[in-house]
Amino acid sequence: MGCTVRIASPLRSYTAGAATLAARGSTLAEVLAHLEQRCPGIRFRMIDEQNRIRPHLRLFVNTSEALELSASVRDGDTVHIICALSGG
Amino acid sequence: MAATLWIGTRKGLFALRAGAARGAWKLSGPQFLGHTIHHVVQDLRDPRALLMAAKTGHLGPTVYRSDDRGRSWREASEPPAFRKAAEGEEARAVQRVFWLTAGHATQAATWYAGSSPAGLFRSTDGGDHWQPVAGFNDHPMRPKWAALGTPDGEFLHSILVDPRDPAHLYIAISIGGVFESTDAGSSWTPLNQGCAADFLPDAEVPFGHDPHCVVQHPRLPDRLYQQNHCGIYRLDRPGRRWQRIGASMPKKIGDVGFPIVLHPRDPDTAWVLPMDGQTVWPRTSIDGKPAVYVTRDGGATWRRKDQGLPRSQAWFTVLRQAMCTDARTQPGVYFGTTAGEVWAGRNAGERWHCIARHLPEIYSVSYAH
């Protein structure tokens, strides 16, 4: 049992094109660490070296925005990675 | 020898290729469509290898390596990143990998990267893993050296490795100045005497200048040239005072610009592309009449080279990495504009031809053989 991660299109070069992946973890940090194991390089494109979520990128657990990587994730949850595209 | 020009743009990577005669250029790409490509550099120690600095507007910055002349690319396992900040420290994160420089010929796998905010990074495995250069990034003076920034943040560029000594390095920061290390980056000292900083109240400040581009001649490594926010300069080491060679440019043209490029064999020959630095700094070709200027005597005199360039209403902006020369006896000179045109000046810029247009905003033009 684990969660489902919905991958924004700019990150699908790391997931062989997959739009959703299954992952494990009880926090967002653990889920992203698991994702990184499966898709090397994907985490740093989302999270900077100070463990901050990069600007223009939003993480949701189900319908609630997660502002910290310590946010809880439960079995059956869906983690949404959303790129806030803007500009020309 | 066949030539490739790697064109880094705001929206992807393109290549222009030509045979030895440089008669016709063929455009290919884009690769990495939608990615911002700041710099592409060939490894002269292994000409099949290239490194590329990239990011997208919403994802973090990274570096890619090719071992087959750009046919395929592999992302760095550990891209340039600052160390994790301790409690109470400024927590810096690399926003852009802006500049790449191959290391010394005797250090086959060493590369350097410069970032925004201003950071220096080194890889010793061909660009796969990167470590911060603590001697600069954690230098107690760094916050003061790189205090002013630009509208896009301050960034570190023009990383120069002395071909006689791998421990002898130069870097430049916009805005911050030129800095020198003689111990492989463990310690740094400012090297800005003689450079104007018209935007500061004190004309003789030791740092805080805005070097747009600094180059070192490969055959005369004691000869440095600098295109600065305020002018064009030359420095012959071990001297420490830059000489304003832009003072000999025509007064109505001035000596503001971004790139400066060198003849591959003649240390007295350099090309610049002046831009309008008056009033609100339009940074476009002066009076809408683009021209390259060349010196063949180390900056004592300059000659205008505009044959083939538009005669009027052409408002070119050419960024610091968007101009280069090739390796011919009479080198070709190339530049790319922010409006997506690439121009080639055959025979040392005697006559110009547009060899690509309609590309995205061009950030860098790099020659590879």
- Residue B356: C-alpha distances to residues B41, B65, B123, B336, B360 (Å): 20, 25, 34, 9, 11
Sheet strands (E) in B244-317: 260-262, 270-272, 292-295, 303-305
Q: Which residues from chain B sit within 8 angstroms of residue A32, using beta carbons?
A: none
For residue B189, what pLDDT band results from cuts at 50, 70 and 90?
Answer: very high
Which of A15, A32, A44 to mutate against chain B (most B CBs within 10 Å)?
Answer: A44
In this model, does residue B96 exceed pLDDT 80?
Answer: yes
The pairing of beta strand B260-262 with beta strand B270-272:
antiparallel
Taking the C-alpha atoms of residue B231 and residue B322, their distance in angstroms, rounded to an integer, is 18
Task: Yes or no: say if B127 and B65 are a contact pair by the CB < 8 Å rule.
Answer: yes
Min CA distance, B92 vs chain A (Å)? 7
Average pLDDT for B215-221: 97
Q: What is the pLDDT of residues A28-75, one digit of tens each?
A: 999 999 999 999 999 999 999 999 999 889 999 999 999 999 999 999
What is the model's pLDDT at position B116?
95
- Note whether B341 and B332 are within 8 A (CB): no
Tell me the pLDDT of chain B averaged across its residues.
96
Contact A54 B77 (CB under 8 A): no
Tokens standing for residue B259: 């790139």
At residue A88, the pLDDT reads 78
With an 8 Å Cβ cutoff, is A41 touching chain B?
yes
3-state helix, strand, coil in chain B (%, to 5): 5, 40, 55
Q: Do A48 and B79 touch (CB under 8 A)?
A: no
What is the arithmetic mean of pLDDT over B1-16? 96
Probe site for chain A from B33, B56, B59 (most A CB atoms < 10 A): B59
User: From the candidates A14, A48, A59, which should be mutated to test the interface with B, based on the most B CB atoms within 10 A?
Assistant: A48
| H or E stretch covering B315 | none
Express as a percent the part of chain B with pLDDT over 90: 91
For the ranges B53-62, B150-159, B208-217, the one whose mean pLDDT is highest = B208-217
- Look at B145-154, B304-313, B315-324 and tell me which has the smallest mean pLDDT: B145-154
Torsion of CA B273, B238, B181, B150, to 10 degrees: -30
pLDDT at residue B80 tops 80: yes
CATH superfamily assigned to domain A3-83? Beta-grasp domain (3.10.20.30)
Q: In which band, very low, low, confident or very high, does the pLDDT at A82 lie, cut at 50, 70 and 90? A: very high
Tell me the nearest-neighbour CA distance from B41 into chain A, angstroms. 22
Q: Is pLDDT of B279 > 90?
A: no
Q: How confident is the model at residue B152 (pLDDT cuts 50, 70, 90)?
A: confident
> pLDDT at position B29, please?
97
Judged against a pLDDT cut of 90, whether residue B65 lies above it is answered with: yes
Q: What is the pLDDT of residue B224?
A: 98
Residue B113: is its pLDDT beyond 70? yes
pLDDT score at A72: 97
* CB contact at 8 A, B228 and B209: yes
Spell out the domain ranges in chain A: 3-83
- pLDDT at residue B198 above 90? no
**Nearest Cβ partner of B79 from A44, A55, A85?**
A44
Q: Across residues B27-34, what is the average pLDDT?
A: 97
Shortest distance between the Cα of A33 and any Cα of chain B, in A, equals 15
What pLDDT does B8 receive?
98
Would the pTM count as exceeding 0.90? yes
Per-residue pLDDT at B79 exceeds 80: yes
Q: Which two tokens stand for residue B345?
A: 């000046």
Mean pLDDT of B14-37: 95
H or E element that contains B144: helix B142-145
The pLDDT value given to residue A86:
73
pLDDT of residue A1: 66
**CA distance to partner chain A, nearest, from residue B364 (Å):** 20
Which chain B residues in 185-204 lie under 8 Å from chain A, judged by CB atoms? none
B138 φ/ψ angles, rounded to the nearest 5 degrees: -110, 15
Rounded CA-CA distance B73/B58 in Å is 21
Q: Which helix (H) or strand (E) holds A38?
A: helix A28-38
Compute the radius of gyration of chain A from its Cα atoms.
12
- Residue A51: closest CA among chain B residues belongs to which residue? B84
* B147-165 residues labelled b (16+ CB within 10 A) or e (exposed): ebbeeeebbbbbbbbbeee
Residues of chain B with pLDDT > 70: what percent?
100
Please report the ipTM that was assigned to this predicted complex: 0.90
CA angle B72, B45, B216 (to 5 degrees): 115
Q: What pLDDT is attached to residue B193?
A: 96
* Closest chain B residue to A82, measured at CA: B58
Beta strands in B200-298 (DSSP E): 211-216, 223-228, 232-236, 260-262, 270-272, 292-295
pLDDT at position B280: 86
Q: Which residues of B touch A42 (CB under 8 A)?
A: none
Distance CA A56, CA B59 (A): 8
DSSP string across B160-225:
EE-TT-TT-EEEEEETBEEEEESSTTSS-EE--TT---TTSS-TT-SS-B-EEEEEE-SSSTTEEE
Residues from chain B contacting residue A40 (CB–CB below 8 Å): 77
pLDDT at residue A26 above 90? Answer: yes
Largest CA distance in chain B: 59
Sequence-distant (≥ 6) Cβ neighbours of residue B263 within 8 angstroms:
B269, B270, B325, B331, B348
Strand, coil or helix: what is B341?
Answer: coil
CB contact under 8 A, A87 and B60: no
